[in-house]
């Protein structure tokens, strides 16, 4: 019988301030490993997306791997065209919840996911020009990650690309 895994989230409230800097404005979405919140950066007077990871035995090193991936990207500044298609890391920190520490990554907020854009479209698909744009940027980003940073992206799906 498999060992059960436990997903533990930390409660987040609208108006809550993290790291004496990021005030939560609203919830943007959630996935298997995290919940993403829109927050106002009180120091820079701009918005950020805060990715608050769950605490789970099933995550293993995945959280550490994501953080180290962003650090690796930062170490490879480049004029490669794919660099501009990669989301940047603004900040990372830990927050204490009732069940322990949770990693939080702060990113510039982007737009809706590709999946949401397709769902909202009246034709329920990307027009040819939109498909060309998206595929070009995904391929440029992958080439940058592989060629410049030696990172292999293994989770390409419409729900996580924007």
The residues assigned a catalytic role are: 155
Contact 112, 162 (CB under 8 A): yes
With CA atoms as reference, report the closest residue to 74 among 145, 162, 161, 140: 145
Cβ neighbours around 107 below 10 Å, total: 17
Tell me the three state secondary structure of residue 86. Answer: coil
51 annotated as belonging to a binding site for a ligand = yes
- Which run of H or of E encompasses 71? helix 62-74
Burial class of residue 143 in the structure, from the number of CB atoms within 10 Å of its CB (0-12 exposed, 13-18 middle, 19+ buried)? middle
Residue positions forming the annotated binding site: 51
**Would you list which residues are annotated within the binding site for ATP?**
51
């Amino acid at each position: 019988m498999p060992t059960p895994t436990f997903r533990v989230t930390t409660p987040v409230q609208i108006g809550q301030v993290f790291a004496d800097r990021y005030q939560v404005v609203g919830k943007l979405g959630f996935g298997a490993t995290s919940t993403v919140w829109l927050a106002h950066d009180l120091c820079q007077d701009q918005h950020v997306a805060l990715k608050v990871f769950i605490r789970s035995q099933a995550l293993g090193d995945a959280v550490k791997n994501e953080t180290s991936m962003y650090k690796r990207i930062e170490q490879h500044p480049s004029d490669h065209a794919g660099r501009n298609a990669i989301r940047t890391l603004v900040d990372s920190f830990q927050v204490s919840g009732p069940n322990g520490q949770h990693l939080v990554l702060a990113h510039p907020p982007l737009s809706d996911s590709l999946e949401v854009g397709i769902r909202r479209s009246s034709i329920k698909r990307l027009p040819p020009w939109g498909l060309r744009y998206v595929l070009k940027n995904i391929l440029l980003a992958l080439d940058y990650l592989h060629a410049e940073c030696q990172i292999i992206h293994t989770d390409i799906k419409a729900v996580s690309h924007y």
